[in-house]
Amino acid sequence: MFMHTLGCRVHGSHPDLGRLFLRLSLGLVFVAHGWMKLSDVAMANAFMEKLGMPTGTGAIIGLVELLGGLAVLVGSYVHVASILLALVMVGAIVLVKGKMGYVGGFEFDLSLLLSALALAKLGAGGFSVDAKRGGCSCGSGCGPLDKGCCGSGACGSGACEMPERDEHLVVVEEGEIVAVEEPRREQA
């Protein structure tokens, strides 16, 4: 049997603010690039056709970038939007930028890909439409100790907010939580 203390509150830490900054940086880039593609659909489609993609792919990618970027910016359905944006970046790296090497080639696309994956894992955070809606966009809560989506709209972040208690003794057997006990308090 493995026992450890799970601290539920991190004092001085503002993970929701970090998620907001991540959403802003990622969302603004994708909105700008999506808008650019949709502003000149003929050019975007021609570029994609040169790569051997079907006609209309440029417009579809532009739409995914614009709408996905907007969703990320406001924090709505962030899990789904981030996964779609990550897939767009995988395509950009594999089809275009990978051949150019890392520096001056795919380093920016890789940064966007990893940021999108991080956001998909972390969730939108407290400053988001997802949080105001009362849950995370991926449709699942966190663990048995958490309230909703970790109390902040973030799926799987591992953070928890429990108003009555600051820490618990958690009993874990073979990777499963089997018991949660109140911490022993000194009598005054």
Neighbours of 23 (CB within 10 A): 26
Cβ-count burial 49-87 (b if 16+ within 10 Å, e if not)? eeeebeeebbbbbbebbbbbbebbbbbbbbbebbebbbe
Q: Report yes or no: 134 and 126 within 8 Å, Cβ to Cβ.
A: no
Neighbours of 179 (CB within 10 A): 12
Confidence of residue 94 (pLDDT cuts 50, 70, 90): very high
What is the per-residue pLDDT across 129-149, written as a single tens digit (0 to 9) for each? 888 887 544 433 443 433 444
| Domain ranges across the chain | 14-133
Q: Is the pTM of this model over 0.85?
A: no
